[in-house]
Amino acid sequence: MTLQRILRLPALLALLLWSGAAAATEADMTHYTVEIQASDRVAYDVACTVNTGTEVTRMDFSGSGSLQRKFVGTAIRCSLVQTAGRDGLALVLSNDRGNRTRSATHGVGSRINIGIR
């Protein structure tokens, strides 16, 4: 095995873990909530990738104002872009195991990228 291949192993392992190379059981599944906190004057585009352990599904949605969506899987990653409005907005990801992450931004073209397991 060459040094170049050895150095790629950690990145490959991380990719396999994220892509769901190991099948998830029912006990591994978690309920996730995606919440966008924004005024009605703020518009955005969101792309969320939900990993179920056996497949990865991407969901895209656009909107303005506050929004909440629920998903089931083993992990979720979301990318949000503010497309209109001067006010700020926040993206909150949480799960039924008590984990929560929140990120806020302000201004057209600003982007948030966060994920949670």
pLDDT digits (tens, 9 = 90+) for 24-77: 566 778 999 999 999 999 999 999 999 998 999 999 999 999 999 999 999 999
d(CA 30, CA 100): 13
Strands, sheet with 67-73, edge to edge from the N-terminal-most edge strand:
67-73, 30-38, 88-95, 100-106
- Global pTM? 0.75
DSSP 52-107: -SS-EEEEEEEEES-EEEEEEESEEEEEEEEEE-SSEEEEEEEETTS-EEEEEEES
Domain that residue 68 falls in: 3-116
The count of domains in the chain is 1
CATH of the domain at 93: 2.60.40
Convert the pLDDT of each residue in 84-104 to its tens digit.
999 999 999 999 999 999 999
